[in-house]
Amino acid sequence: MSKRLTAAVYMVVMLTPSAATAMEGALTGTSWRFIDLNGRTVPPCVQTSIKFMADGGTTGNSGCNGFSGDYVSSSTDLTFSNFGWTKMFCNDGKKIGVEITIQRELKDTRHFKIAGSMLYFIGTEDRILARLAAVSSD
């Protein structure tokens, strides 16, 4: 391989962002809707969301209550902490079930994957905890 070609290949590799960096950046600026939780479809009547801010904060809605907290992501790792939830009364069994499951799955998330317009929260042993769909971009 010529020195010129080697230098060109090196420059392309060094200037091209990694797929992991691109995935990490794709978390922010998009609202996501929970589609499946632990393999079960979220009922369409239950409005859920999560949004990641560039400063490491996250906000969302788990069906009945809003929430906010912190997240840390690096490459494909993702963890959540410091959550606060509103305490709205909710007597809808479907919403309560979704809300409890979202709280558990956020706590158990260790990794993430973005494939097209879908976001996956992944736990230990590569178990998919939640599947989310992109709703909008800022």
SS3 13: helix
Domain interval for residue 65: 18-137
Establish if 108 belongs to a structural domain. Answer: yes
pLDDT in tens, 113-122: 999 999 999 9
Establish if 13 belongs to a structural domain. Answer: no
Establish if 2 belongs to a structural domain. Answer: no
Establish if 37 belongs to a structural domain. Answer: yes
Establish if 61 belongs to a structural domain. Answer: yes
What count of other Cβ atoms lies within 10 Å of the Cβ of residue 49?
A: 18
CA atoms of 96 and 45, how far apart (whole Å): 12
Q: Indicate the length of the chain as a whole number.
A: 138
Count: domains in the chain: 1
pLDDT tens, N- to C-terminus, the chain (138 residues):
444 433 333 333 332 333 333 344 578 988 999 999 999 999 988 999 999 999 999 999 998 899 999 999 988 999 999 999 998 888 888 888 999 999 999 999 999 999 999 999 999 999 999 999 999 755
Exposed (0-12), middle (13-18) or buried (19+): which is 88, by Cβ within 10 Å? exposed
Answer yes or no: pTM beyond 0.75.
yes
Bridge partners of 110? none
Tokens of 27: 């978390």
Q: The CATH number of the domain where 57 resides is what? A: 2.40.128.270
Establish if 40 belongs to a structural domain. Answer: yes
Establish if 69 belongs to a structural domain. Answer: yes
Establish if 6 belongs to a structural domain. Answer: no
